[in-house]
Structure 1
Amino acid sequence: MGSLTETAPEENYSKPPGIKFVEYIKRSTISFKTHQAIVLIVTFLAYTSYHAARKTTSVVKSSLDPQSSDLGLKFAPWRMTYLEVPEERKTLSWVLGDGWAPFNGSDGTSLLGELDVAFLAVYAMGMYFSGHLGDRLDLRIFLTVGMIGTGVFTSLFGIGYWGNIHSFYYFLIVQMVAGLFQSTGWPSVVAVVGNWFGKKKRGLIMGIWNAHTSVGNITGSLLASALLSHGWGWSFVVPGLLIAFVGLVVFFFLPVCPEAVGADKDEDELHSPRKIGEAQEEPLLPSEKEGKDKPVGFIEAWKIPGVAPFALCLFFAKLVAYTFLYWLPFYISHTAIDGKYLSSEAAGNLSTLFDVGGVVGGILAGHISDRLNARAITAASFMYCAIPALFFYRSYGHLSLTLNIAFMFITGMFVNGPYALITTAVSADLGTHSSLQGNSRALATVTAIIDGTGSVGAAIGPLLTGYISAKSWSLVFTMLMVAALIAGLLLTRLVVSEVAVKIEESRSQGGSPRTRSSSPVDEV
């Protein structure tokens, strides 16, 4: 990377006020590695708060629609009659009593499903525009506006509790606008991280960093569950205030790119020892061409080799993941585990173990893909392993709490592993694909295309679940297993390509050693 004195800073970017203040106090500039640490921490907190705000709906569902608990009894092979339900469950407070109109009627489950699809449909459409704008605007400002807007409309949903609002269209419109603001998050944080980190160990670094998704889900579940007893409105207002506060942190402290803050990587690495034969780490977004690059168009980004199969794979992977995100607490609270039913609060807390498995799966998938240098093989293998995991969770998870926890953890690991890998390392790989000829202005667009396509699946999964669960939860799990199978099959061509490369490498081991083979994702 050339000296920053040779490259004009990006016009759209400016140094954050918080960074200026810290440097004023220190009376010296902050190092490149310190900036990297700030980027990882701030973006981690930012997207954690996004998912915490998003998760609350799934926890509150059982409070809004408690009367549909017979759905879990009527069609499950281990069903029980209402007379067999423990007395303490019958006498719970309003949290599981009368519910909240209009969601406590016979069509309550369907209405909740429609809220999910409205949110996620707008989120998916907004994702494409957010990526387009993210490559053209100051990402720090863009992300701040998105987070504060998300906080406002998440809180407005909860205000319906104190305002005694029972209009379905009020909740629908609030969810749709919240989905629009939520769409600003992912393309922005991936693009910012991409500005600061090169390709070396990208899968592992982003696998660990992507734990923010599961940490956010866990935080949102625990927070919403703890606040339910005070009124379900608090389960929305508090996460809304939280994301708005973190949005201010982003505004004051997030450096968008090295050029914006005058950080020079050369100064940190000038005297850094390098092993003999070790390749120079390739920056994710080369600064030399920053001033010349033009943002990549939407259609042009779709034509990048590998974007379409991974985007379609993520469509089905997120269909599975988001069905769990929005319906797992509801499913747990309406299913007898060892002959007992859990309260909404207990179900919300228990569902966090799915996300704990997701953290492990994301890190594991990133590490394995780095070691094998095979993103497609790793993602497809995890999706195939998710199929038996889903089957065992549905078939045997009700037998005991221990089995439920074990199978939930394993399912979360295999479902969220490829989801995390594709939305982070793979998106970054494709956003800097060799066909772009060094153009550094495609990362947010490519990320938005891949995650936006996945978000369409994320909208369809919860919607279908709202209707299918009224007939049978077994049909829901069958749908999820079929989706996982299709997700794996969509990567077949890339998997074959990666296997061919591995065979070629093994045959040429007698020749000169390669420092690092290029991934078929970059070659296809």
Structure 2
Amino acid sequence: MAWPRFLQRGTLLTSFSHHHVAVFLLTFFSYSLLHASRKTFSNVKVSISKQWTPDAFNTSIDLPAEIWSSNHLFPSTEDATLFLGTLDTVFLFSYAVGLFISGIIGDRLNLRWVLSFGMCSSAFVVFVFGTLTEWLHFYNKWFYCGLWIVNGLLQSTGWPCVVAVMGNWFGKAGRGVVFGLWSACASVGNILGACLASSVLQYGYEYAFLVTASVQFAGGIVIFFGLLVSPEEIGLPSIEAEAGSEEDSQRPLINGAENEDDYEPNYSIQEDRAVIQVKAISFHQACCLPGVIPYSLAYACLKLVNYSFFFWLPFYLSNNFGWKEAEADKLSIWYDVGGIIGGTLQGFISDVLQKRAPVLALSLFLAVGSLVGYSRSPNNKSVNALLMTITGFFIGGPSNMVSSAISADLGRQELIQGSSEALATVTGIVDGTGSIGAAVGQYLVSLIQDNLGWMWVFYFFILMTSCTILFISPLIVREVFSLVQRRQAPILNE
């Protein structure tokens, strides 16, 4: 097992310029802002539900008849809550479809333009949805659905673009560690959205949407003028050219060869600039790349579990243990903490092994045990927080690694000669498939919980985690066999 060069020399930080730091921070906070606006909607659902069912208000406050009639979208709070859940499902499905489209667009247009457009236009839609409609006292279910479908499509431009930009700047040496830290952007966005919304919610839910939309729009402007898509934009060599002098530079962590001895580079360092042209591959070609379909199907199961914790964990804590909603919200943060630590540490280990699948498999096997343990957590907040952190470590960590580092690896294979013009398409396929699984999962979780109870929900999570392992099992066997061969080679040569 060879240690990566950046670990041998201790130059992980010194190998990065201020341009790398700027790209890391800009992409990190751009996606954090997109996630913040999603979290804002979750945080103000109670206020929106009350606004759409103003019966209680009309008994104590003399509302004008025309305003009361327009507000009266639903006869009860339960119906309003059901519609809000429908909006979540509609958003996730449109987001999933948009990911497939956005990845293709991102590989054919300037990534900075696509990301900036998505952030600014999504901010405008959020402003219209939550702020303008309230100011104008305009309430319409179909209008809300249409806006949220458009918002899902626009928000889908974020992840494929930021992963592609990061993949352009950070090579596979240290990619697991860097992407592990960077993939915490979603968790940071959740915290940011909660803080922004809670700071102005007392003035009305419309101001929560106004603040997050304004910040997101400003972030899109900064991205348009400040983000560098690739090193070549400022005359620096690409990451493939920088790595070209190393023997392992043409051995991606994910490749289509059955074993490493069969690998033969299909282009030379000298002809790198001549051969690699800026030519985007097709959607079908991206799907046919080794590992893309298995990891996409695996991520559909894994994201289902991860997003179910995101959407349902506070409700589960409040419903199952009788804890206050505010306490449950604060306690649920520990799941994100575990995911951040897990993604970083597992990325580091995969860098050392120079293989991703074995690390992913071990974590998912342990995730099954952590789910069993967490499902039997006692009514104790400290114990629950500890078990929740462990569960986040073994589920959120692999989810972060698949959606970021592994997606970047898949988009930089020798079959496409490291072309960055596949990164966004591949990322869109992986995350889009995962989002479809997450969208279906939210309906199934509510269905199982209503009819069978929470314990059967955890059994469902265990099944989906096991399916994740099953889908990537051929890759696990291949990479474990490759590691064994690598360890036996020095012994045979003695």
* Interval containing the TM-score (normalised by the shorter chain): 0.7 to 0.9
Structure 2 residue aligned with 1:292? 277
Q: Are 2:99 and 2:431, in contact at CA under 8 Å, matched by a contact in 1?
A: yes
Work out the CA distance in 2 between the residues paired with 1:418 and 1:231.
38
Work out the CA distance in 2 between the residues paired with 1:434 and 1:454.
25
Q: 1:313 and 2:335 equivalent? A: no
How do 1:260-299 residues align onto structure 2 when only pairs under 5 Å count? 260-264=233-237, 279=247, 281=249, 288-289=273-274, 292-299=277-284
Change (3 A) 1:402 1:427: same
Structure 1 residue aligned with 2:204? 231
Using the TM superposition, give the Cα deviation of residue 325 of structure 1 relative to its aligned residue in structure 2, in angstroms: 1.9
Using the TM superposition, give the Cα deviation of residue 323 of structure 1 relative to its aligned residue in structure 2, in angstroms: 1.5
Change (3 A) 1:430 1:181: same
Structure 2 residue aligned with 1:91? none
Using the TM superposition, give the Cα deviation of residue 348 of structure 1 relative to its aligned residue in structure 2, in angstroms: 2.8
Q: Are 1:59 and 1:329, in contact at CA under 8 Å, matched by a contact in 2?
A: no
Using the TM superposition, give the Cα deviation of residue 508 of structure 1 relative to its aligned residue in structure 2, in angstroms: 1.4
Instruction: Give the counterpart of 2:324 among 324, 342, 355.
Output: 342
Q: What amino acid sits opposite 1:470 in the alignment?
A: D
Q: 1:453 and 2:433 equivalent? A: yes
Q: Relative to structure 2, which stretch is displaced further, 497-506 or 431-440?
A: 431-440
Change (3 A) 1:475 1:320: same
Q: Deviations over 1:321-376 (max 9, x none)?
A: 1112222233334343xxx5313x44333322221111111102211211222211
Q: Are 2:339 and 2:396, in contact at CA under 8 Å, matched by a contact in 1?
A: yes
Structure 1 residue aligned with 2:104? 132
Q: 1:380 and 2:361 equivalent? A: yes
Q: 1:463 and 2:443 equivalent? A: yes
Q: Deviations over 1:441-477 (max 9, x none)?
A: 2111111111111111121122323443333333333
Relative to the length of structure 2, the TM-score reads: 0.81
Work out the CA distance in 2 between the residues paired with 1:278 and 1:403.
48
Q: Are 2:276 and 2:419, in contact at CA under 8 Å, matched by a contact in 1?
A: no
Structure 2 residue aligned with 1:479? 460
Instruction: Give the counterpart of 1:106 among 62, 69, 78.
Output: 78
Q: Deviations over 1:470-497 (max 9, x none)?
A: 3333333332221111112211111111
Q: Deviations over 1:81-105 (max 9, x none)?
A: xxxxxxxxxxxxxxxxxx9954953
Instruction: Give the counterpart of 2:42 among 58, 78, 86.
Output: 58
Instruction: Give the counterpart of 1:490 among 450, 471, 475.
Output: 471
Using the TM superposition, give the Cα deviation of residue 118 of structure 1 relative to its aligned residue in structure 2, in angstroms: 0.5
Q: Deviations over 1:377-414 (max 9, x none)?
A: 222222222223233333315x0111221122222222
Using the TM superposition, give the Cα deviation of residue 251 of structure 1 relative to its aligned residue in structure 2, in angstroms: 0.9
Using the TM superposition, give the Cα deviation of residue 39 of structure 1 relative to its aligned residue in structure 2, in angstroms: 0.8
Alpha carbon RMSD of aligned pairs, Å? 3.1
Q: 1:364 and 2:345 equivalent? A: yes
How do 1:135-146 residues align onto structure 2 when only pairs under 5 Å count? 135-146=107-118
Change (3 A) 1:170 1:184: same
How do 1:226-265 residues align onto structure 2 when only pairs under 5 Å count? 226-264=199-237
Work out the CA distance in 2 between the residues paired with 1:244 and 1:387.
41
How do 1:18-37 residues align onto structure 2 when only pairs under 5 Å count? 33-37=17-21
Q: Are 1:199 and 1:282, in contact at CA under 8 Å, matched by a contact in 2?
A: no
Using the TM superposition, give the Cα deviation of residue 289 of structure 1 relative to its aligned residue in structure 2, in angstroms: 4.6
Instruction: Give the counterpart of 2:22 among 22, 38, 46.
Output: 38
Change (3 A) 1:257 1:162: same
Structure 2 residue aligned with 1:212? 185
Gaps of 5+ in 1: 1-30, 67-98, 514-524
Q: Deviations over 1:20-45 (max 9, x none)?
A: xxxxxxxxxxx982221211111111
Change (3 A) 1:280 1:299: closer
Q: What amino acid sits opposite 2:109 in the alignment?
A: L
Q: Are 1:65 and 1:100, in contact at CA under 8 Å, matched by a contact in 2?
A: no
Using the TM superposition, give the Cα deviation of residue 162 of structure 1 relative to its aligned residue in structure 2, in angstroms: 4.5
Q: Deviations over 1:144-181 (max 9, x none)?
A: 01001121222333224555455332332222111111
Aligned residues: 440
Instruction: Give the counterpart of 2:172 among 188, 199, 206.
Output: 199
Relative to the length of structure 1, the TM-score reads: 0.77
Using the TM superposition, give the Cα deviation of residue 425 of structure 1 relative to its aligned residue in structure 2, in angstroms: 1.4
Q: Deviations over 1:280-309 (max 9, x none)?
A: 75699x971587342111111111111111
Query: Structure 1 segments of 4 or more deviating over 4 A?
Result: 62-66, 160-166, 277-284
Work out the CA distance in 2 between the residues paired with 1:164 and 1:407.
45
Using the TM superposition, give the Cα deviation of residue 62 of structure 1 relative to its aligned residue in structure 2, in angstroms: 4.6
Q: Are 2:407 and 2:423, in contact at CA under 8 Å, matched by a contact in 1?
A: yes
Instruction: Give the counterpart of 1:505 among 486, 491, 494.
Output: 486
Change (3 A) 1:321 1:262: same
Q: Are 2:250 and 2:414, in contact at CA under 8 Å, matched by a contact in 1?
A: no
Q: 1:331 and 2:328 equivalent? A: no
Structure 2 residue aligned with 1:518? none
Other structure's SS at 1:153 match:
helix
Q: Deviations over 1:252-277 (max 9, x none)?
A: 110111222223579x989xxx9xx9
Work out the CA distance in 2 between the residues paired with 1:263 and 1:223.
38
Q: Are 1:114 and 1:463, in contact at CA under 8 Å, matched by a contact in 2?
A: no
Work out the CA distance in 1 between the residues paired with 2:129 and 2:398.
32
Structure 2 residue aligned with 1:189? 162
Change (3 A) 1:225 1:473: farther
Q: 1:47 and 2:31 equivalent? A: yes
Q: Relative to structure 2, which stretch is displaced further, 428-437 or 128-137?
A: 428-437
Change (3 A) 1:291 1:158: same
Work out the CA distance in 2 between the residues paired with 1:225 and 1:326.
18
Structure 2 residue aligned with 1:422? 402
Q: Are 2:296 and 2:434, in contact at CA under 8 Å, matched by a contact in 1?
A: yes
Change (3 A) 1:396 1:201: same
Q: Are 2:119 and 2:220, in contact at CA under 8 Å, matched by a contact in 1?
A: yes
Work out the CA distance in 1 between the residues paired with 2:75 and 2:320.
20
Q: What amino acid sits opposite 1:243 in the alignment?
A: Q
Other structure's SS at 1:106 match:
helix
Work out the CA distance in 1 between the residues paired with 2:19 and 2:476.
36
Work out the CA distance in 1 between the residues paired with 2:313 and 2:138.
26
Work out the CA distance in 1 between the residues paired with 2:311 and 2:97.
19
Q: What amino acid sits opposite 2:426 in the alignment?
A: V
Q: What amino acid sits opposite 1:446 in the alignment?
A: V
Of all paired residues, the percent bearing the same amino acid is 39
Gaps of 5+ in 2: 1-14, 51-70, 253-268
Q: What amino acid sits opposite 1:147 in the alignment?
A: M
Work out the CA distance in 1 between the residues paired with 2:216 and 2:353.
37
Using the TM superposition, give the Cα deviation of residue 500 of structure 1 relative to its aligned residue in structure 2, in angstroms: 0.9
Q: Are 2:106 and 2:161, in contact at CA under 8 Å, matched by a contact in 1?
A: yes
